[in-house]
Structure 1
Amino acid sequence: MRPRPRRRSAPPLTPAELADLEEAWVELRQASQEAGVKSFRACTRDGSRWEDNPESVRAMTRMIKDTHKYTVEGPKDV
């Protein structure tokens, strides 16, 4: 069994970074609500907190939107 990675503490966010993170969370909440997602779990490989990274939060948003779109529209012939 592999040991769990240690969490790295990130430096404090600047006001601009904090605003960007808050905006990313608004986008994620909206996408989740529109897709009917009630909860999900996610983790990083290095033990860092994805919740504190706007790019990671937006990646989750894209994944939820893409999955919802695929589910609603159905598979496409390639």
Structure 2
Amino acid sequence: MSQDELAVLNGGKCILQLRGVRPFLSDKYDITKHPNYKYLSDANPKNAFDIEKFLSTKLKLKPEEEFEVFDAGAAAGSESA
């Protein structure tokens, strides 16, 4: 296809390029018909992943839990006396 033909390509079509196969024209898949569509943020904004909330979560240990502590301090050879 030429650049002009690509520019006016129908919005319901796409060009797929898979390894080992020549690129081909195909219909786009309607994700609203997928059984797991309800889990996407497109279906429900509550499903959106909030990276800020995830990164601000602190690990909460219970008093009876056992854990190991590893020192990940200064790199080897750069220790000061």
Structure with a larger share of its residues in strand: 2
Is the TM-score greater than 0.5?
no
TM-score range, shorter chain: under 0.3
Please, what TM-score do these two structures have when normalized by structure 2? 0.25
Greater relative CO (CA pairs within 8 A, separation 6+): 1
Using the size of structure 1 for normalisation, the TM-score is 0.25
1 or 2, which has the higher helix percentage? 1
